[in-house]
Amino acid sequence: MNATTRAPEVLLEARKLTRRFGGLVANQDIDVTLERGMIHVLLGPNGAGKSTCINMLSGDLPPSEGEIRYLGQDITRLTAAQRSQVGIGRSYQRTNIFPQFTVLENVRLAAQSRRQQPWRIFSKAMEAKWALEKAHACIEEAGLGKRTDWVSGVLSHGEQRQLEIAMVLATDAQVLLLDEPLAGMGSEESANMVQVLKRLRQTRGILLVEHDMDAVFAVADRITVMVNGQLLECGPPAQIKASVAVQQAYLGTEDSLHV
| Residues lying near another protein in the complex (CB under 8 A) | 58, 60, 79-82, 84-85, 89-90, 92, 96-101, 105, 108-110, 112-114, 116-126, 128, 131, 167, 171
- 99 vs 145, beta carbon nearer another protein: 99
- 42 vs 131, beta carbon nearer another protein: 131
CB of 126 to another protein, least distance (A): 7
Beta-carbon-side half-sphere exposure of residue 178 (alpha carbons within 13 Å): 34
Q: How far is CA 53 from CA 26, 43, 92, 185, in A?
A: 9, 11, 13, 23
Please tell me the distance from the alpha carbon of residue 139 to that of residue 108, in angstroms, as a whole number: 10
With residues binned 3-state (H G I as helix, E B as strand, rest as coil), the percentages for the chain, rounded to 5, are 40, 25, 35
- 135 vs 215, beta carbon nearer another protein: 135
- Contact assessment for residue 68 and residue 14, using Cβ atoms and an 8 Å cutoff: yes
The partner residues of 206 in beta bridges, in order of sequence, read 39, 176
Please tell me the distance from the alpha carbon of residue 154 to that of residue 253, in angstroms, as a whole number: 41
- 60 vs 65, beta carbon nearer another protein: 60
- 171 vs 190, beta carbon nearer another protein: 171
CB of 227 to another protein, least distance (A): 28
CB of 121 to another protein, least distance (A): 5
CB of 85 to another protein, least distance (A): 5
CB of 15 to another protein, least distance (A): 23
